[in-house]
Structure 1
Amino acid sequence: MKASAFLYPWDVVGDPDAPARIADLGVGQVTLASAYHSTRALTPRHPRHRVVTAEHAALLYPPDEPYWRGRELRPHAAGSWAPGDAFGRAAQALAAAGLDVHSWVVLAHNSRLGADHPETSVVNAYGDRYPWAPCIAQPRVRAHLVALAAEAAVRPGASGTELESCGWYGLAHLHAHDKIAGVALDGTAQYLMSLCFCSSCAQGYAQVGLDMRELKDRVRRALEPVWRGGPAADPLVEAGGELLAATLAFRTRVARELQESAVAAVRERAGAGFQVLLHADPRPDRCGADAGADPAHVLGVADGVVVPCAAGPELLDPFAACAAPGAVLAANLTVVSGMGGRPEALADDAARAAAHGATQLRLYHAGLASDTDLERIRRSGALG
């Protein structure tokens, strides 16, 4: 089964041994970040550093100034963590080792955009803004993300792309020094806390017969038992289910519009033969890196999907049920033991994923993995 390993440019640039090390895993492809959010990343083998701090969401290549001139919202170039054309240098080195390179583009997850333009962020039922989560219902945000997708995806040396966060982002984030676990939030509560109440969303709710002020009050009432820490399961499920049903049609339409526009923009810029995949969850209400998507719709738009399978391969099933021949269903498996991954069980996990329809594997994340984890991947036999 074809496999691709995720990498950052800083895993490769400055480490002449990195391309051969990755190729030696048995993968034929690398999914290399070209536009990424802020992060702090370990580089356990790099000859010059051990920790890279990406201070803000940035392009990992020089932006095309004429392309962005006149646009209201613009991306930022990276700082010292990925200077110049870091993506291009890494892609060239990886290609020289015989690896196919696909770009990895993060879209609706950008705390720098939220800091520079607070009005673009998701705002919850309590009036709190999420600066890491651009509201995709806002036309200028959507236009920015589509433009970003096209430029960041179609980089010299890339023969395809994977678009992450191509949909709604919400409360769950893993923000710097997160302190939001004091009250447990189940999936329903997460959804309610991820609903946006900006002016663009107000218009969208009105189109499906919802008054935003009344909706906001209903969300707050539904969540009140959660904050008290009481037995809120039954009433929350009932109220949350009603609110999910009432709001999901609007939010699903908005996500579809972004996905359709982003894929079309990438294909127009790239031309024929350029593969476009979306990181996706088959439950349309889900927010985050693997944005909720209707399986039949998204497989009719993109060439395939990358599906989170760290907790098991079952999320592949709805995609497999409607996938046409040739569609890519990539099972995303964590292979870093320190992050809960199972590199020693890669062969078993790959076989289980294949039984649920997976046609490819994604290994998260070869740059973060220890030498021991990489050796376990090699010895697993999963990659030939």
Structure 2
Amino acid sequence: MKASAFVYPWDVNGDPAAGEWIAGLGLPQVTLASAYHSTRALTPRHPRHRVVTAEHAAVLYPVESERWAGRELRPYAAGDWAPGDAFGEACAALANAGLEVHSWVVLAHNSRLGAEHPGTSVVNAYGDRYPWAPCIAQPATRAYLVELAAEAAVRPGARGTELESLGWYGLAHLHAHDKTGGVGLGDAGQYLMSLCFCADCREGYAGQGLDPDALAVRVREALEPVWRGESPSDGGWAGVEKLLGETEAAATRAWRDSVARGLQEDAVAAVREAAPEGFQVLLHADPVSYHCGANAGVDPAHVLALADGVVVPCTGGAGLVTPFAEQGVERAQGVQGAVIAANFTVVSGMGGRPHALGDDMARARALGANEVRLYHAGLASDGDLDAVRRAIRGL
């Protein structure tokens, strides 16, 4: 099983030993951030710093000014946490250490965009905006995301890309000082709180035969007993249907699925047009299409006919691999087989299980995974990396 670890440019730049210690993990590949959201990150081995604060979502290379001329929505340059061509500098250092570099591109997750252009954000049924979540149904936002995908993915030195957040983002968000967990919303409640009611989505619901004003009322009514703790909101899609009604639920999902599929098709096509032959395109994905977040909900058959494969969240178990693996087997009968990469958190302090990585990888392989992703080499302690090194030797 081919393995790759996620890395930030600031893990590498300014540390002459970084390429050596990352290659020393036994990995042939790294997935290096080229466009990333705001974060506060530990750098436990860097000779110059221990904490890096990326203040806003930014591209980690010089913006191509001609590409973005005349556009209101455009990517933000990084500050002193990733100056200049931070991606290019880190890419070169990693390649010199013998590592194959793929870009890591975060798309529909940008709090600064939402703050400066509030009209781009998802709006819930109560009228609350989610500034971290661009509404992917809006034409201008979609055009921005597609252009960003092409620019940030196909960087000099990159042999492929992994596109994260290429779909709907919703209520759930690893936000600074997040205090939204007071009521257990469950899978169904999260879906209802992630439905967007901006002008474009209202028009989309109308196209599905729904009255958007009545739908917003219905969502609020359905959630009221959840807020009071009188009704559970779990149970997967059946829970959504129970809260919202089967007809309304199906219509909202049809709208959202069509929007997400269209964006994914356009973004992958733009990357392929900009990329050299053989450039690999993967999506961070969840096999349940109504799910939101960094691992965008997708239809497995559709996404594996579109991209070269997927990166699947597996920290809570490798079960999400199975739907993709089943579709990958069918695909392999006619064309090149799909990449099904099981993504494991290997930072103990972030809920990872580096000391069980060997067993977890074996389980993922048994379910159909053929590659592994490790989150995150730069954030992990030396002890965590020792466990990773031992597990990789066993591949």
* TM-score range relative to shorter protein: over 0.9
Task: Please give the per-residue CA displacement for 1:247-266, whole angstroms capped at 9, x wherever unaligned.
Answer: 10110000000000000000
Residue 360 of structure 1 corresponds to 371
Instruction: Flag the 1:157–1:241 CA change in 2: closer, same or farther, 3 A.
Output: farther
User: Residue 382 of structure 1: CA displacement?
Assistant: 5.0
| 8 A Cα contact 1:60 1:86, kept in partner | yes
| 8 A Cα contact 2:223 2:243, kept in partner | no
- The match for 1:295 among 300, 303, 307 is 300
User: Residue 236 of structure 1: CA displacement?
Assistant: 6.8
User: Residue 239 of structure 1: CA displacement?
Assistant: 2.0
Residue 196 of structure 1 corresponds to 196
User: Residue 280 of structure 1: CA displacement?
Assistant: 0.4
Unaligned runs of 5+ in 1: none
1:376 aligns with 2:387: yes
| 8 A Cα contact 2:187 2:233, kept in partner | no
Q: Structure 2 matches for 1:196-275, cutoff 5 A?
A: 196-233=196-233, 238-240=242-244, 242=246, 243-275=248-280
Q: How far apart are the structure 2 equivalents of 1:185 and 1:360?
A: 33
User: Residue 339 of structure 1: CA displacement?
Assistant: 0.8
Residue 15 of structure 2 corresponds to 15
- Identity among equivalent positions (%) equals 72
Q: Structure 2 matches for 1:120-135, cutoff 5 A?
A: 120-135=120-135
Residue 97 of structure 1 corresponds to 97
C-alpha RMSD of matched pairs (Å): 1.3
Q: How far apart are the structure 1 equivalents of 2:17 and 2:217?
A: 57
Amino acid of the structure 1 residue aligned with 2:348: S
User: Residue 116 of structure 1: CA displacement?
Assistant: 1.1
Residue 117 of structure 2 corresponds to 117
Q: How far apart are the structure 2 equivalents of 1:367 and 1:241?
A: 46
1:317 aligns with 2:322: yes
User: Residue 232 of structure 1: CA displacement?
Assistant: 3.8
| 8 A Cα contact 2:34 2:104, kept in partner | yes
User: Residue 174 of structure 1: CA displacement?
Assistant: 1.3
User: Residue 202 of structure 1: CA displacement?
Assistant: 0.8
Question: Greater CA deviation, 371-380 or 128-137?
Answer: 371-380
Q: How far apart are the structure 2 equivalents of 1:232 and 1:107?
A: 32
| 8 A Cα contact 1:26 1:383, kept in partner | no
- The match for 2:359 among 340, 343, 348 is 348
User: Residue 125 of structure 1: CA displacement?
Assistant: 0.2
* SS at 1:104 equivalent: strand
Q: How far apart are the structure 2 equivalents of 1:241 and 1:48?
A: 56
| 8 A Cα contact 2:241 2:249, kept in partner | no
Q: How far apart are the structure 2 equivalents of 1:278 and 1:236?
A: 26
User: Residue 233 of structure 1: CA displacement?
Assistant: 4.7
Task: Please give the per-residue CA displacement for 1:280-311, whole angstroms capped at 9, x wherever unaligned.
Answer: 00000000000000000000000000000111
User: Residue 62 of structure 1: CA displacement?
Assistant: 0.5
Q: How far apart are the structure 2 equivalents of 1:33 and 1:45?
A: 18
1:286 aligns with 2:291: yes
Q: Structure 2 matches for 1:176-195, cutoff 5 A?
A: 176-195=176-195
| 8 A Cα contact 2:233 2:243, kept in partner | no
User: Residue 230 of structure 1: CA displacement?
Assistant: 2.2
Task: Please give the per-residue CA displacement for 1:71-97, whole angstroms capped at 9, x wherever unaligned.
Answer: 221110000000000000000000000
Q: How far apart are the structure 1 equivalents of 2:107 and 2:94?
A: 24
Instruction: Flag the 1:241–1:331 CA change in 2: closer, same or farther, 3 A.
Output: farther
Residue 338 of structure 1 corresponds to 349
Q: How far apart are the structure 2 equivalents of 1:4 and 1:55?
A: 27
Amino acid of the structure 1 residue aligned with 2:343: N
Question: Greater CA deviation, 323-332 or 152-161?
Answer: 323-332
| 8 A Cα contact 2:240 2:249, kept in partner | no
* SS at 2:45 equivalent: coil
Q: How far apart are the structure 1 equivalents of 2:394 and 2:8?
A: 21
Q: How far apart are the structure 2 equivalents of 1:42 and 1:204?
A: 42
* SS at 1:313 equivalent: coil
Q: How far apart are the structure 2 equivalents of 1:87 and 1:365?
A: 17
TM-score (normalizing by structure 1): 0.98
Question: Greater CA deviation, 226-235 or 264-273?
Answer: 226-235
Q: How far apart are the structure 1 equivalents of 2:346 and 2:10?
A: 19
| 8 A Cα contact 1:189 1:240, kept in partner | no
Instruction: Flag the 1:241–1:302 CA change in 2: closer, same or farther, 3 A.
Output: farther
* SS at 1:61 equivalent: coil
Structure 1 runs (4+) greater than 4 angstroms displaced: 233-237, 381-384
- The match for 1:305 among 307, 310, 314 is 310
Unaligned runs of 5+ in 2: none
Amino acid of the structure 1 residue aligned with 2:258: R
1:149 aligns with 2:180: no
Q: How far apart are the structure 1 equivalents of 2:80 and 2:126?
A: 37
* SS at 1:287 equivalent: coil
* Number of residue-to-residue matches in the alignment: 384
